[in-house]
Chain A
């Protein structure tokens, strides 16, 4: 029988270190890291690890139906908590299936540890069965990776992996363990500390730079706060809101930053960028001092960088990763540090100063912003006949009182979710922004639901995306995950269709999918509840019904308007101020 983890006192009392197999050591390490769930899929190279998993019940394993889903689930778990997600896959196809998930996490800086099996050390390089160069394949999409060739290195490597994954700019770290290494034995002791001479992320911001930044902010006439995913990752949203209130400035969030400042707050201008509001995009473009916080000036956010830089403004940029600063846009006051610490310092410094930006100084700016806001760029024509996708999202928001965890896939539905579900809290909005991975939503929601049992978890998806990981309905049944799936079924790869309509002369090449399944019946076949909703009048009832079924996964198949488009829209390569506001602008 496997010994449960011994209390620390007892271990030191016994003195001698234990001799364990590599597989036992891996599981011990996960226990030490307080890992609740491992999402994975077994195979030859990880059999020893699975054997040990089954002998204990501290680390629970969730058996997914595809390795991509294992990584997305670990990712959703991490995004909705402040913990590191963990996935376990076998060598060869297990790893290659996981790559999409790893790249997804990498692009959004999500802390994660992936443990992969490898062929035995003697077989490496022999084109062995299920051998791939895992470290090579994953190198460009991990923060770091390791191949452990000696059982004595397992514990220290796993300790390093967790440390690297969660500190600095977070990211996925992969640990590749050959099968024989997981069977070899050695003395085990979990290292208490990690020291890496080549990795020391900066935490504190430079005080002089912070002072300089405040000086600029206090003088601003047209200030703007632009806050991104870094705020969520740093768990700094309360501090951000405090600073925003003290300054009285307008704020906008990136897609990844939603929930970093309450969406329903008056100072919040909504999301900016390709599908941002008029007020956010115009504010971003015409401000005289921009405070960028944990946001990386992505091309979907600032449009054409040359156009963006054609307007003079001073930019202050706080980021933990120096390479995010002055990458696409030249910055005037860079501040490298952990947001949480830098915001603390800013707030303290501001509190100790008698000066505050005089409201009158920025009043004309607010007036201008209100004028932009009054154009109501998110207004859409609702209908009593055709089901509008925006209306479904608004109703979800209403029914869940804005307090659900919402995972999404990628496409038009993702943008409508971002625009119409007003996130007031961080870590509630779970989506793939950087890589834009269709298939992310459902498995990510599994991780979210496991991390928050009892909380409402919704997936906003499309009939295209949901089919990329639909097999996970089976996992949801096995683990009784009462996720609510809202599929905005427009019978189109809608985002592709929209681009084809706007920029490719209405030639809908391969963006219409024939022969869709009856999703309600499909959900039923997996043992869940499925409902098809066709009329606007039935939307609220259906969503309420779904959430009242506390123990059931409910699949709501909304037959939405196939011709609806996402507005506003900034065409790729155009300037932020060049927005298409409705079909009439085409």
Chain B
């Protein structure tokens, strides 16, 4: 099967001072056009690594990523990225931050058109009244909204979200989740979202990709969700299968935990044995 976005045996090896460490290996995933996929896994398993490789910000060690049949080569405005922290230029206004990208992508549009476009997306995320406020004077939630507007205003083929709501309080988070889905319905952008939050994954995505624990993390399980779009939070929560999916996902994460605990215990056991052996050698030598 070939998808609109194809991650083909994607792998990443970091060079650390202890030698090369394989973080992600043989990560295979296909996304259809307009599909929303959530990437779920334990902290440190390599979710951000996968996402930044797709974004082109992190060199790929093995395998490749193709979008619309073309292999990616470095970052580009066809893939909008929303980072975990908003990453706005603090010295620019909200509008200028969005304009930075808009100017780049719509070079041939008139200045007024570009301003209109940027303001339109800022309006969508509810910042119509703060266009000319400096980014440093905005709250975290508002900054993250600007980040979302900046990504959408580029009309990207693909949207990459790395825990976009991780730093927000739960009320703001729910509000922004709904705003994001609304814009997505309108623009039909293929999306990958990294998250820690099982409920967020269930509410937002079409498929949830569970990653195994690293090192050598890969796709552990994929759940296709039956909830209808457009999503209404109450309906999703009331859906008869919601808790079943939720249970399965948490079970998967817990299994990973057990496996990790077991692996850790084994590693400790191994180290202890080695210590003992060494001590014995020393004792014999003396």
> Do A and B bind?
no
Q: Show the binding face of A for B, using Cβ within 8 Å.
A: none
Q: Show the binding face of B for A, using Cβ within 8 Å.
A: none
